A and B are shown apart, each in its own frame.
Chain A
Amino acid sequence: DAGVTQSPTHLIKTRGQQVTLRCSPKSGHDTVSWYQQALGQGPQFIFQYYEEEERQRGNFPDRFSGHQFPNYSSELNVNALLLGDSALYLCASRRTSNNEKLFFGSGTQLSVL
């Protein structure tokens, strides 16, 4: 049983570019959340998707957007990249029906030059 899988594992972009990160949740999970973890800090909640809609959002600008597909997989899009967007982006999934714990993927390391 595969856990949460994310792609790509590493990515290098330049300022002003756009990026799309992908996440496949653990089998049986229907909720996907995205977190940003800057170097030396704890993860920060970006947003959560359930039933293909954004349900909750953290304190991130509109440059951060997402999508959830019918198969529960998800994408995180970041427009107009800034140097400060360099971070590890983590995807987490959960089965909503029984308040299961969050399972995290290994993340995508994004570097903005």
Chain B
Amino acid sequence: TQLLEQSPQFLSIQEGENLTVYCNSSSVFSSLQWYRQEPGEGPVLLVTVVTGGEVKKLKRLTFQFGDARKDSSLHITAAQPGDTGLYLCAGARAASYDKVIFGPGTSLSVIP
């Protein structure tokens, strides 16, 4: 049973376009994290959202945590080729910050 689902699975867009990636959970987590993973590398944490309804911005990336703390979205404005990679959402429960539960990921390709 997949605790975290992500959509779309694959996304190929032109440079300059906007996109949104979704993460949905069947469980409530203490926090949701977004990672980016490039080929041959480990995941790198982009952001952690903790409070229901929370919105965080990281340059052209906007992250939102759902009110019920079971879903999240990542919006990228004016995508650039450097944004290409696998975007993973992950949930963590209190007192278990090492046992992170990852979704299957969204593979993003930004074409110049």
Contact = CB atoms under 8 A, between A and B. Distances in A.
B104 A33 contact: no
A41 B42 contact: no
Given A106-B41, A107-B41, 15 more contacts: A31-B98, A41-B104, A42-B103, A43-B88, A43-B100, A48-B98, A55-B98, A58-B99, A90-B43, A94-B98, A101-B33, A101-B45, A102-B100, A105-B42, A106-B42
Nearest to B105: A42
Interface string A66-100: 00000000000000000000000010101000010
Contacts of A48: 98-99
* Residue from A42, A43, A106 whose CB has the most chain B CB atoms within 10 Å: A42
Secondary structure of the B contact surface, majority rule: strand
A45 B101 CA distance: 7
Contact of A90 (B42, B45, B97): B42
Interface string B74-92: 0000000000000010100
Interface of B: 4, 33, 40-45, 48, 88, 90, 96-105
A4 B88 contact: no
Nearest to A9: B40
18 contacts: A4-B42, A31-B98, A35-B102, A41-B105, A42-B103, A42-B105, A43-B43, A48-B99, A58-B99, A90-B42, A94-B97, A102-B45, A102-B97, A104-B44, A105-B42, A106-B40, A106-B41, A107-B42
A61 interface: no
A105 B41 CA distance: 7
Contact of B99 (A33, A41, A42): A33
Interface residues of A, number: 24
Contacts of A28: none
Nearest to A99: B97
A56 interface: yes
A87 B101 CA distance: 17
A99 B4 CA distance: 23
